[in-house]
Amino acid sequence: MRKIKDDIIEKIIFFCGILSIVFVVLIFGFLIKEGISFFKEFGIVDFIIGKFWYPSANPPEFGILSLIVGSVLVTVGACIIAVPVGIMAAVYISELAPKQIKDILKSLVELMAAVPSVVIGFVGMVSLAPLVRVFFNIPTGLTAFTGSIMLAFMAMPTIVTISEDAIRSVPWQYKEGAFALGATKWQTIRRIVLKAAMPGIIAAIMLGIGRVIGETMAVMMITGNAAHIPHSIFEPVRTMTATIAAEMGETVTGGLHYRALFAIALVLFFITFLVNFIADLFLGRSKNK
Partner 1 sequence: MIKLNPKLSQKFAVAFLFCATIVAIIPVVIIIFIIIKNGYSAISLEFLTAMPTNGMRSGGIFPAIVGTLSIVFCAILITLPIGVCAAIYLNEYAKDTLLTRLIKLAIVNLAGIPSVVYGLFGLGIFVMFLGFGVSIIAGALTLSIMELPVIITTARGALNSVPPAFREASLALGVSRWQTIRHIVLPNALPGILTGAILSIARISGETAPILFTAAAFYLPHIPRSPFDQVMALPYHLYIISTQIPNMPKNIIFATALVLLMMVLSMSLIAIIARIYFRKRRKW
Residue 96 binding partner 1, by CB under 8 A:
yes
d(CA 284, CA 174): 20
Residues 129-158 that bind partner 1 (CB under 8 A): 153, 156
Which residue lies nearer to partner 1 by CB, 58 or 253? 253
Only segment of 51-59, 103-111, 191-199, 230-238 that touches partner 1 (CB under 8 A): 103-111
Per-residue contact flags (x/-) with partner 1 for residues 203 to 242, judged by CB under 8 A? ----x--x--xxxxx---x-------------------x-
Residue 270 binding partner 1, by CB under 8 A:
no
Residue 282 binding partner 1, by CB under 8 A:
no
Residue ranges in the chain assigned as alpha helix (H): 2-41, 44-49, 65-91, 99-114, 117-123, 129-136, 144-168, 172-180, 185-188, 194-214, 217-222, 240-247, 256-287
Interface residue with partner 1, options 41, 127, 191, 255 (CB under 8 A):
127
Residue 80 binding partner 1, by CB under 8 A:
no
- The answer to whether the Cα torsion of 62, 68, 69, 70 is positive or negative is positive
Q: Collect all residues with Cβ–Cβ distance below 8 Å to 222 and sequence separation of at least 6.
A: 121, 124, 125, 128, 129, 142, 146, 147, 150
CA distances from 29 to 40, 113, 129, 263 (A): 16, 31, 39, 12
Residue 99 binding partner 1, by CB under 8 A:
no
Only segment of 40-48, 51-59, 107-115, 131-139 that touches partner 1 (CB under 8 A): 107-115
Which residue lies nearer to partner 1 by CB, 196 or 283? 283
Q: Which helix (H) or strand (E) holds 53?
A: strand 53-54
Identify which of 211, 109, 106 has the alpha carbon closest to the alpha carbon of residue 157: 109
Give the amino acid at 207.
L
Query: Would you state the torsion angle of the CA atoms of residues 260, 262, 267, 270, taken in this order, to the nearest 10 degrees?
Result: -160
Residue 245 binding partner 1, by CB under 8 A:
yes
Interface residue with partner 1, options 1, 57, 114, 252 (CB under 8 A):
114
Residues 38-77 that bind partner 1 (CB under 8 A): none
Helix 240-247 to helix 256-287 angle (10° resolution) is 140
Only segment of 58-66, 131-139, 171-179, 261-269 that touches partner 1 (CB under 8 A): 261-269
Which residue lies nearer to partner 1 by CB, 57 or 114? 114
Which residue lies nearer to partner 1 by CB, 210 or 230? 210
Residue 24 binding partner 1, by CB under 8 A:
yes
